[in-house]
Structure 1
């Protein structure tokens, strides 16, 4: 069972069923989150993706809940629009199957350690001789150009060494973000790097090797707003964007719950101070200009938290919407399933599968007017397409 879905179940209600990458062939030698997110995005854009798995399969197949063996929810959410080909790359015949596919592939994505790829004879130099047009993308822990090259890395480790756990500190205790965010940032970065390489290949006719290391990717992501005085080569620089790292930056407590609230511009703050019957506060030299508010952000947020306690969540939401001040309720994951905006945009798609039953998944958030994204098949069972691909290739 390859979990392909019929036209009535797939996303064919758009102007064209073919995405912008229709005809692009992708070999996916990745597992868990980082690589599969990248290749799924390519598949959503219409690419033909073959997922290469060992006989044990992607370990994420077993991430719970798993109502069907080796078909856990996280795996299903990360591997739609792919076919599964099981190969033992230590066997000559199976390795040759991969090499034959690589000769005709446009993209190969892997998160195996580069030294292991070279040991198998699958390094970039070897594959470029077979297919000079191949775009060869490695997504793994650390760049091969530094001393950490080849060290094992998972999301938790990269959140730690990449500065994110420190940024999330509460009362001096580092904390992880409750998401495999380092994996996902690197996966999305790999996606746009591959798209850039595909565009360049249209001019040069040649592929190239791409390296997307998690450590450097997360460090670059974190540093954008947090470089601070280090931007100007100051000795012992003060780093961190003050508003983002303020201990008072948090959801604010109302009379009966919490609310997300961020007056940002001078005009928004002026309207907020009017709502709380303190219109003269905007004249306070600490709050009258953006640069002054940045210096006094802790005082400002402390004051804001006291004001918000005076009304209920619903009262605040109505007042803030009327005043055009950015705000929102605190949604749980369960709340999102019934969210009116996501419902109106058809964000959660339902599919019926003979083995899995009803499957619900978020659609691609990208809306292309002429070559839309879509789901043509659900995540494959382990090895579901092995015989077909071995016999017929792409």
Structure 2
């Protein structure tokens, strides 16, 4: 996979996380990515804590495998260089507010005159048209505005943001997928084109199942912590020394869970007979199961439940990930050579080509 896009040149006018994630994925697939930064640098360089030298670790995490150049796009010389880069590229990705690149003389209509085969992907907060087109937004704002924060957290608690920039990262993946599809189409018809990718649409797509449920019954979802709204038990339980996530809602796993926990009599309780029954009576179910889980350690329950083919996992910390045997086997924490900082640890490649 690392050579799949060999010969494809990408010019990257993005910053922070969504756009750089898109172009990082293209670089991982073998594209030559030329990252263009303003003289003062990508804003993502300053989003710490989490530092490598004087740059934020976020910047290094999403800008691997790229070549860099600094251009002042407010100067005629900088714009001229940018146009020449676009003229020689297969793909151009930008994450400016809609209209900014056009005012700079680098909008799609202008650069496509020089390069009709160019695939131009604009990543914005709300899209290129509509009443919010000119509105700026970042990951947290779109987590709120898309409804995502309304469904995260514990019952009766505050709305909660996903700490990892989930909307940014998913938007970057959506953009990369769209670009790959457009490259495939261009190979057939020879024409480039314009792609409008925005964080709002991606955030809604991320919640496809939850929004579909609401459209079906118009019942607003409640915040239910780690639990799944559509099945039970499918949630985290506290143990004597930590937490364990358990999914035992089908395939006979509910019955086996009751046996392993030492309460087989509740298998046939009419409140818990089906997964839907257990969702409706989740509080009663948890009141019975929670003391059982708290009686033993996480490792005890992992061994016991795994042997019974009950889906489970510890609620891991990032420190645990460094010792996770499958994370190591998948090569997801790797060492990267940096010209200024030497060897640095970084997340590994997202896909392995066997």
Same fold (TM over 0.5): yes
Corresponding residue of 2:4: 20
CA shift, 1:228, in A, is: 1.8
1:311 counterpart SS class: coil
Q: Is the 8 A contact 2:28 2:349 kept in 1?
A: yes
CA shift, 1:101, in A, is: 1.4
Q: Is the 8 A contact 1:226 1:239 kept in 2?
A: no
Kindly indicate which of the two structures has a greater share of residues assigned to strand: 2
Residues 114-154 of structure 1: CA distance to partner in whole angstroms, max 9, x if unpaired? 21111112221222222111111111111233211111101
Higher relative contact order (CA 8 A, sep 6+): 1
CA shift, 1:190, in A, is: 0.8
2:224 paired with 1:240 = no
Q: Is the 8 A contact 1:227 1:239 kept in 2?
A: no
Residues 299-318 of structure 1: CA distance to partner in whole angstroms, max 9, x if unpaired? 33343223212222121111
Unaligned ranges ≥5, structure 1? 1-15, 370-394
Aligned equivalents of 1:229, 1:163: Cα separation in 2: 12
1:276-315 superposed matches below 5 A: 276-315=261-300
Aligned equivalents of 1:269, 1:226: Cα separation in 2: 27
Aligned equivalents of 1:91, 1:211: Cα separation in 2: 27
Root mean square deviation, CA, Å: 2.2
1:1-394 superposed matches below 5 A: 18-64=2-48, 65-69=50-54, 71-170=55-154, 171-231=156-216, 237-240=218-221, 244-245=228-229, 250-353=235-338, 355-369=340-354
Q: Is the 8 A contact 2:298 2:314 kept in 1?
A: yes
**Range with greater deviation from structure 2 (211-220 or 345-354):** 345-354
CA shift, 1:67, in A, is: 4.4
TM-score between both structures, scaled by the size of structure 1: 0.82
1:244 counterpart SS class: coil
Q: 1:86 to 1:288 in 2, by over 3 A?
A: same
Unaligned ranges ≥5, structure 2? none
TM-score between both structures, scaled by the size of structure 2: 0.91
Q: 1:83 to 1:201 in 2, by over 3 A?
A: same
Aligned equivalents of 2:330, 2:236: Cα separation in 1: 26
Corresponding residue of 1:391: none
Aligned equivalents of 1:249, 1:287: Cα separation in 2: 13
Residues 342-375 of structure 1: CA distance to partner in whole angstroms, max 9, x if unpaired? 1233322223445202211121121123xxxxxx
CA shift, 1:61, in A, is: 1.4
Q: 1:42 to 1:312 in 2, by over 3 A?
A: same
Q: Which structure 1 residue ranges, 4+ long, deviate > 4 Å from structure 2?
A: 245-250
Residues 276-312 of structure 1: CA distance to partner in whole angstroms, max 9, x if unpaired? 2332422233323333334333433343223212222
Aligned equivalents of 2:287, 2:130: Cα separation in 1: 43
How many residues are matched?
A: 348
